[in-house]
Amino acid sequence: MDCRPVGLDFLAAAPVRVITEVALDTSPQRLFDVFLDADSWPRWAFAITRVTWTSPFPIAAGATRTVEMRAGMVGWETFLQWEPPTEMAFRFDRATKGGPEAFAEHYEVAPLPGGRCHLRWTMAADIPTTPAPMLPVVRGGMRAANQLMLARLRRYVAGGIDHVPRHIAPGGAP
């Protein structure tokens, strides 16, 4: 199903909006290397089973990728921003049946002393099948899941999750 095309303004106005933050023991550039690596996403973002870049490298705003998730959900994404090592944002253009009407994510990265960085992750969605009284429950579930994924990301960038790089990209990996 086609999703409603949204811009960066949706991140502040979405009916469901969750912000999570973490300090990471990696540099902003290394974190963007992880974001670029299609195989890294399933390692730390447990909802994701596969990422396929569908745009040639180098990645820039307007790039696309397909993200396969648990329970058979698939999202076809377009990047609204790609500005390593500080910022990236994307939205769903399409999703499998039962997906959100609109969805976007925004990752803001700031350097910290000692070669570390701070990540602020905003996830925004419009899920019209969710009754309004249930939205706080949905937000709470998303927040808990995102906090767990950021804990996994922290371990991943620190070398605590096994990883064998295998980029998935048309025309080769970076």
If you average pLDDT over every residue of the chain, what do you get?
90
Phi, psi of 49 (to 5 degrees): -110, -25
Q: Is 47 a domain residue?
A: yes
Domain that holds residue 131: 10-157
β-pair partners for 92 = 77
pLDDT in tens, 131-155: 778 888 888 889 999 999 999 999 9
Number of domains present in the structure of the chain: 1
What per-residue string of b and e applies to 143-171 under the rule 16 or more CB within 10 Å gives b?
Answer: eebbeebbebbbebbeeeeeeeeeeebee
CA-to-CA distance for 142 and 15, rounded, in angstroms?
13
| CATH number of the domain that residue 51 is part of | 3.30.530.20
Alpha helices by DSSP H, the chain:
10-13, 28-36, 40-44, 135-157
Q: Is 33 a domain residue?
A: yes
CA-to-CA distance for 79 and 77, rounded, in angstroms?
7
Q: Is 168 a domain residue?
A: no
pLDDT in tens, 14-49: 999 999 999 999 999 999 999 999 999 999 999 999
CA-to-CA distance for 153 and 29, rounded, in angstroms?
15
Q: Is 163 a domain residue?
A: no
pLDDT in tens, 74-130: 999 999 999 999 999 999 999 997 778 999 999 999 999 999 999 999 999 998 777
Amino acid (one-letter) located at 59: I
CA-to-CA distance for 118 and 96, rounded, in angstroms?
33
3-state SS string for 127-168? CCCCCHHHHHHHHHHHHHHHHHHHHHHHHHHCCCCCCCCCCC
Q: Is 83 a domain residue?
A: yes
Q: Is 2 a domain residue?
A: no
Q: Is 84 a domain residue?
A: yes
| Cβ 106 vs Cβ 82: under 8 Å | no
Q: Is 167 a domain residue?
A: no
CA-to-CA distance for 157 and 31, rounded, in angstroms?
7
